[in-house]
Amino acid sequence: MNNFCVSENGNNFTLISGTSKYLVVIAGPTAVGKTKMAIELARYYNTEILSADSRQFYRELNIGTAKPSATELAAAPHHFINSKSIGELYGAGHFEKDALAKLDNLFETHSLVILVGGSGLYINALLHGVDEYEEVPAPLREKINAEFELRGLEWLQNELKIKDPDYFKEVDIQNPQRMIRALEVCVHTGKPFSSFRKNEKKERPFTPIGIFLNTRREALYEKINLRVDEMMDNGLLEETRKCLPHRQFNALKTVGYKELFDYLDGKYTLKEAVEKIKQHTRNYAKRQITWFKNSLELEEFEPDATEKIKAYIDIILTHG
């Protein structure tokens, strides 16, 4: 059992631990309210936030990634926001290494740190580790990316299905970045990507406390539709135009930008593109919910259940 004392810090409270360290994981579908909850908890526990959003790393992508505002970033210390450029390859393995190093530093002065995001693979990498794969030569990666640009998503899906039918059954086949990563390993090694996956959980120097924010499907979809409208009002089309010369980068092969690239190519009207963004974002949220429920140990709460979440965390901290 761990001993904690609670010291008053203005209107908040700081939990002081003897030896144990805790990582509060705030996961959930897009637009559910994870950022708001993370900031409220960070202020309450007088701690800092690590972002596990695979698109908010990139400095050039702001509106389309629903990045925290300047006011939100100032409300609590954030890490891994605006830390990369869209031309940099940055995957779950990189994040695992960088986030563990950051936690080592933060745990010197904090007993509890917040991790927030909707990118399940990145959260899982930090909690449990990722399998090691052979490094793929850059020319091969570039060749497969170029082939994908030329032939499209259906070609990519078919290639992966042929070379690794087992992984094809579980991967998100609407996510080209993930499929390209698997395919390049298959081509480079001559072996299925799935054969390298050991799924061995690594020991971590902290105890995770999993929080899953979720709500009624209709309410979530309404939030998603409203967010997309706000993004358009805030200049998402202009942001996408600026990114047009870099559309080949994996960071831009994501919902919001892909559909507006298609609009700029003349494939859709602007109204059709916006509706596609809403539809694809709703589809993505549905996949996120399924993944989190099936893959991680998380306690489910409504996104406005702040006091219940604090009480849940405090019980774990008090009783170890």
Q: Residues 157-179: pLDDT tens digits?
A: 999 999 999 989 888 888 888 89
How many structural domains compose the chain?
A: 2
Average pLDDT, the chain: 90
Residues 212, 190 share a domain: no
Residues 218, 185 share a domain: no
Global pTM value: 0.80
Residues 166, 99 share a domain: no
Closest CA to 35 of 59, 51, 11, 54: 51
255-305, pLDDT tens digit by residue? 999 999 999 999 999 999 999 999 999 999 999 999 999 989 999 999 999
Half-sphere exposure of 166 (CA within 13 A, CB side): 8
CATH of the domain at 189: 1.10.20.140
Residue 12 is given by DSSP the state: E
Residues 204, 88 share a domain: yes
Q: What pLDDT score was predicted for residue 7?
A: 33
pLDDT at 226 over 60: yes
Which of residues 239 and 251 earns the better pLDDT score? 239
Mean pLDDT of 187-213: 87
Q: Is 17 buried (19+), middle (13-18) or exposed (0-12) by CB count in 10 A? A: middle
Mapped onto helix, strand or coil, the DSSP state of residue 145 is helix
Domain boundaries, position 183: 138-196
Mean pLDDT of 217-233: 98
Which of residues 63 and 152 earns the better pLDDT score? 63
Binned at pLDDT 50, 70 and 90, residue 142 comes out as confident
Residues 285, 167 share a domain: no
81-140, pLDDT tens digit by residue? 999 999 888 888 899 999 999 999 999 999 999 999 999 989 999 999 887 666 788 788
6-47, pLDDT tens digit by residue? 333 333 333 434 458 999 999 999 999 999 999 999 999 999
- CB count, 10 Å around CB of 298? 20
Residues 182, 234 share a domain: no
CATH of the domain at 36: 3.40.50.300
Residues 190, 148 share a domain: yes
Q: What pLDDT score was predicted for residue 92?
A: 86
Q: What pLDDT score was predicted for residue 112?
A: 98
The CA radius of gyration of the chain, in Å to the nearest whole number, is 20
Domain boundary, last residue among 179, 196, 213: 196
Residues 208, 61 share a domain: yes
Q: What pLDDT score was predicted for residue 46?
A: 97
Q: What pLDDT score was predicted for residue 22?
A: 97
Residues 206, 221 share a domain: yes
Binned at pLDDT 50, 70 and 90, residue 146 comes out as confident
Residues 12, 32 share a domain: yes
Residues 253, 151 share a domain: no
pLDDT at 216 over 60: yes
Q: What pLDDT score was predicted for residue 169?
A: 87
pLDDT at 5 over 70: no
Residue 84 is given by DSSP the state: B
Residues 232, 303 share a domain: yes
